[in-house]
Amino acid sequence: MARGALFKLVVLLAAISVGMLGAHAKGPYCLLWEDFAGVDEDEIPSDWMRNTLRWGSKYWSAAGGSSPEMAFWWHPGEEGIFILRTPPIDATGHAGLALSFKHYVHDHLDPPGGYILRVDTAAYNHEIMWTLEPSGHVGPETITVDLSSRDGQVFEVWFVVQGNTERIRTWHIDDVRVLARAVRRCRAVASGWTLFGLPVSPTDQHFDALEFDPPPTDVHMFWWDPDEAAYEGRGELELRGMSGYWLFVTHDQATYQVCIEGDSLTGTRAFELGAAGWQMISVPYPVAWGPAEGGSVRVRLGMEDKSLQEAIDAMWVHHTLFAWDAVGDEWQTHRSNKSGITMEPWTGYYLFAHQDDLVLLYSEEEQGESLWNEGQALSTAALSFDPGEPPLPPLLAAPSEWLSAVAYPNPAGDGREVTFAAQGPLVSAVEALRVTVHDLSGRLVYSGESERPSLLWDTVGPTGAPVASGVYLYTVEAKMDGQWVRVGVDRMLILR
């Protein structure tokens, strides 16, 4: 390792830890950072390349950065193309690329100019990204070059001097950075309950990183923690790419646009599961579960990995994948030894793991016959095990525990109207309210329905006359996702 390389690594790690290089949402990612600190004079960083010794480190600071800096200096009679090359820059999953560097041109001035300075990029093709034909001294100044044509690629940046070196004295360069922003991905989701997946690695892992358009009245999100065998709510969970989540969005409208910013997940990807039991998963791209179209999935346990079929047969994972039918409010099952299913990005699934700490290995390559043999029967143990159904999220499993009802004023005086209202975390999910009121003998004195989470009663009975003073029993039902749920039974007092 070149002198100073370790120092720069420590500084870089420290910068990442405090968010200097884009740890926060919408911040840029630094894919290359080089200030040449600690590089010996006349040398270049160990992972850079040059085609001439005219390029090298100098203990100057003419470009506007700190000493040392990189410089190209003239040589009598030497003419050609002189290149300084960065190491390969991996921008896979990144967009909005830009190069930033400080520089100063010390021109010969007798006569001025007569040479070209360039910034090129090289990958499977070669592009000239920036040129300068000086006619005198230039800078010091900071240059920003648009590299968006290299979004998602692996490439090099070349600093190029073209022409006769006697026409330029020195070109000073410092603080070279290649920055990128994360990709913003969006998807339409229906109101109500959805098993939701993240096909990106989020820039910000907090729930608030999800952007909804238009903003719904209320949103709930749950993730099943296999280590605790319990759900985490939106305030506790950390968003992770390739994980599944329960998402509830209020019925203000039929669909919403949900967006998140993060790194695209391409190529081979690993997703770590937790303790044995139910796991919420998703995929970064279409992946086949069983004999279906899409990329492949393998399963790793410790140092050993198996094809999906082998992992099922070895009782590492269960053969059935669970998806949620939001229209019918019921589970859909997809057995790997039947027709299978193509797992889709943005969709969450439930998988039962028989072993602790498994890893799913996704690949964009089609699985092919070598990884799925439709004629091979699964073992008796694999076929006979029944894990039951995955756990429903708290609000869906027991909505009445998250919603209650109240009547006010209580007691109600003579001539006063009574308001019945739903309250609690799920109040925004209430599509309608239904109320019945009985006296203590069981006689119905009032029934009403509202398309809002509240209802007003004028304390008039079925005969059209105000009900008598006394104690009454009221029942409140709320309609959510098309289903009526009892959310309150209580007493109220009317005083005339």
Predicted pLDDT of residue 26: 35
State the residue for tokens 């992770």: 240
Predicted pLDDT of residue 14: 34
Q: Using one digit for the tens of pLDDT, what is the confidence trace for 282-333?
A: 999 999 998 888 999 999 999 999 999 899 999 999 999 999 988 777 899 9
Q: Is the pLDDT of residue 484 over 80?
A: yes
Query: Are 120 and 99 within one domain?
Result: yes
Predicted pLDDT of residue 300: 97
Predicted pLDDT of residue 244: 96
Residue 438 is assigned to a structural domain of this protein: yes
Query: Are 285 and 418 within one domain?
Result: no
Q: Count of CB atoms within 10 A of residue 219's CB? A: 17
Strand locations in 147-218 (E) = 154-164, 168-190, 192-197, 200-202, 211-213
d(CA 467, CA 408): 16
Amino acid letter, 180: A
State the residue for tokens 């998988």: 351
Query: Are 52 and 159 within one domain?
Result: yes
Residue 186 is assigned to a structural domain of this protein: no
* Residue pair 449/470 in contact by the 8 Å Cβ criterion: no
* Residue pair 257/185 in contact by the 8 Å Cβ criterion: no
Predicted pLDDT of residue 385: 87
Q: Of 336, 361, 384, which closes a domain?
A: 384
Q: Of 156, 181, 206, which closes a domain?
A: 181
d(CA 290, CA 319): 9
Q: Range with the lowest mean pLDDT among 200-204, 209-213, 254-258? A: 200-204
Q: Using one digit for the tens of pLDDT, what is the confidence trace for 248-265?
A: 887 778 899 999 988 778
Q: Is the pLDDT of residue 241 over 90?
A: yes
d(CA 334, CA 342): 10
Q: Using one digit for the tens of pLDDT, what is the confidence trace for 98-120?
A: 999 999 999 987 787 789 999 99
Q: Using one digit for the tens of pLDDT, what is the confidence trace for 412-428?
A: 987 789 999 998 877 87
Q: Is the pLDDT of residue 15 over 50?
A: no
Query: Are 172 and 232 within one domain?
Result: no
d(CA 218, CA 212): 11
d(CA 276, CA 21): 37
**What is the torsional sign of CA 24, 27, 31, 37?**
negative
Predicted pLDDT of residue 166: 82
- Show the tokens assigned to 188: 């339409």
Residue 372 is assigned to a structural domain of this protein: yes
d(CA 100, CA 130): 12
For the segment 59-71, the average pLDDT, to the nearest whole number, is: 95
Which class for 361: exposed (0-12), middle (13-18), buried (19 or more C-beta within 10 A)? Answer: middle
Predicted pLDDT of residue 6: 37
Predicted pLDDT of residue 397: 64
Annotate 214-280 with DSSP letters as a single string. SPPS-EEEEEEETTTTEEE-TTT----TTBEEEEEE-TTSSEEEEEEEEEE--SSEEEE--SSEEEE
Residue 391 is assigned to a structural domain of this protein: no
Q: Could you tell me the pLDDT band of residue 96, with boundaries at 50, 70 and 90?
A: confident
Query: Are 68 and 15 within one domain?
Result: yes
The CATH number of residue 468's host domain is 2.60.40.10
d(CA 68, CA 36): 6
Query: Are 14 and 116 within one domain?
Result: yes
Measure the CA angle with vertex 26, ends 24 and 31; round to 5°: 80
Q: Using one digit for the tens of pLDDT, what is the confidence trace for 419-476?
A: 999 988 778 778 899 999 999 999 999 999 999 999 999 999 999 999 999 999 999 9
Query: Are 150 and 233 within one domain?
Result: no
Predicted pLDDT of residue 144: 94
For the segment 133-144, the average pLDDT, to the nearest whole number, is: 94
The total domain count for the chain is 3
Q: Could you tell me the pLDDT band of residue 218, with boundaries at 50, 70 and 90?
A: confident
Query: Are 323 and 419 within one domain?
Result: no
Query: Are 45 and 174 within one domain?
Result: yes
Q: Count of CB atoms within 10 A of residue 387's CB? A: 15
Which class for 118: exposed (0-12), middle (13-18), buried (19 or more C-beta within 10 A)? Answer: middle
Query: Are 46 and 149 within one domain?
Result: yes
Q: Using one digit for the tens of pLDDT, what is the confidence trace for 368-383?
A: 544 455 545 667 777 7
Q: Using one digit for the tens of pLDDT, what is the confidence trace for 344-369?
A: 999 999 999 999 999 999 998 876 54
Predicted pLDDT of residue 376: 55
Residue 140 is assigned to a structural domain of this protein: yes
Q: Which domain holds residue 322?
A: 191-384
Q: Is the pLDDT of residue 75 over 90?
A: no
Predicted pLDDT of residue 357: 95
Predicted pLDDT of residue 292: 87
d(CA 427, CA 183): 35
Residue 115 is assigned to a structural domain of this protein: yes
Query: Are 291 and 309 within one domain?
Result: yes
Between the CA of residue 146 and those of 102, 180, 429, what are the distances in Å?
A: 15, 10, 46
Q: What is the mean pLDDT of the chain?
A: 86
Q: Is the pLDDT of residue 481 over 80?
A: no
Predicted pLDDT of residue 328: 78
Predicted pLDDT of residue 134: 92
Q: Is the pLDDT of residue 485 over 60?
A: yes
Q: Range with the lowest mean pLDDT among 151-165, 261-275, 292-306? A: 261-275
Residue 393 is assigned to a structural domain of this protein: no
Residue 332 is assigned to a structural domain of this protein: yes
Q: Of 157, 181, 205, which closes a domain?
A: 181
Query: Are 137 and 223 within one domain?
Result: no
The CATH number of residue 14's host domain is 2.60.120.200
State the residue for tokens 């070279």: 176
Q: Could you tell me the pLDDT band of residue 149, with boundaries at 50, 70 and 90?
A: very high
Which class for 462: exposed (0-12), middle (13-18), buried (19 or more C-beta within 10 A)? Answer: exposed
